[in-house]
A and B are shown apart, each in its own frame.
Chain A
Amino acid sequence: VQLVESGGGLVQPGKSLKLSCSASGFTFSSYGMHWIRQAPGKGLDWVAYISSSSGTVYADAVKGRFTISRDNAKNTLYLQLNSLKSEDTAIYYCARRGARGYFDYWGQGVMVTVSS
């Protein structure tokens, strides 16, 4: 199993960014997937979830601004980040959902910095 995030970078407040997570080594379409973030020096903060059937759930802090999606043909998970705020600055990890709600595989993370 391998998860590789990309698309991070420095962006101004109010702007947008789209993160990708390329999956391999398992049947991507059969698994729910999550995005989790970690602000510098802080703890883990769950962001969003998409089920294998593309149902979605969001943390209150990002609801209406972020959109999680997936392309099973490309084995890729996405996170569209709109109306970015300084408090969205973090490492963003994608993770696979295990059978009982744990995160059994994680990507290495991608840094998003929101600053003017």
Chain B
Amino acid sequence: AIVLNQSPSSIIASQGEKVTITCRASSSISSNYLHWYQQKPGAFPKLVIYSTSYRASGVPSRFSGSGSGTSYSFTISRVEAEDVATYYCQQGSSNPNTFGAGTKLELK
């Protein structure tokens, strides 16, 4: 199984700050199959970025993603209060599909 190592496990940021989350895969993944989700407290996960860098429908432009091979990143250019959530990377390249452990974003 492909293991996704996500870091950091938590971030405390101020509103307006830029934050970046890293997801490193144990083996190379096609960038088409690396995705990011946002899960707000008490809610189900929501697809935010698919295929490394494409924003899902309705997702604000402050969210972006990049990467290739085994190293991927997710960035919020200017954090807003509504972005408080846990973020997960996921690979759909091979079975079993796997998730990173998650990054919890909190506001300072």
**How far is A103 from B91 in the complex, measured between Cα atoms in Å?**
10
- Whether A101 touches B102, Cβ cut-off 8 Å, given contacts A44-B88, A46-B96, A49-B97, is no
**How far is A43 from B96 in the complex, measured between Cα atoms in Å?**
16
Cβ–Cβ contact B93 & A101, under 8 A:
yes
User: B7-37 vs A: 1/0 string, CB under 8 Å?
Assistant: 0000000000000000000000000110101
Residues of chain A lying within 8 A (CB to CB) of residue B86: 43
Residues of chain A lying within 8 A (CB to CB) of residue B97: 34, 46, 49, 101
A-B contact count (CB 8 A): 62
Q: Within 8 Å of chain B (Cβ to Cβ): is A31?
A: no
- Whether A101 touches B35, Cβ cut-off 8 Å, given contacts A34-B97, A43-B101, is yes
Q: Shortest Cβ distance from A104 into chain B, in angstroms? A: 5
Which of B32, B39, B93, B99 gathers the greatest number of chain A CB atoms within 10 Å?
B99
**How far is A115 from B98 in the complex, measured between Cα atoms in Å?**
27
Of the residues B44, B47, B100, contact of A104 by C-beta under 8 Å: B47
- Whether A44 touches B96, Cβ cut-off 8 Å, given contacts A98-B50, A100-B51, A102-B35, is no
Residues of chain A lying within 8 A (CB to CB) of residue B47: 98, 102-104
Residues of chain B lying within 8 A (CB to CB) of residue A93: 44-45
- Closest-by-CB residue of B relative to A98 is B50
Of the residues A44, A101, A107, contact of B33 by C-beta under 8 Å: A101
Cβ–Cβ contact A57 & B90, under 8 A:
no
Within 8 A of B (CB), among A45-59: 45-46, 49, 57, 59
Q: Within 8 Å of chain A (Cβ to Cβ): is B67?
A: no
**How far is A45 from B64 in the complex, measured between Cα atoms in Å?**
24
Of the residues A43, A59, A102, A104, contact of B102 by C-beta under 8 Å: A43
Residues of chain A lying within 8 A (CB to CB) of residue B32: 100
Q: Shortest Cβ distance from B72 into chain A, in angstroms? A: 14
**A-B contact sample (12 more), CB < 8 A, given A49-B97, A100-B33:** A43-B88, A43-B99, A44-B37, A44-B90, A57-B95, A101-B33, A101-B91, A102-B35, A102-B51, A102-B90, A106-B44, A108-B44
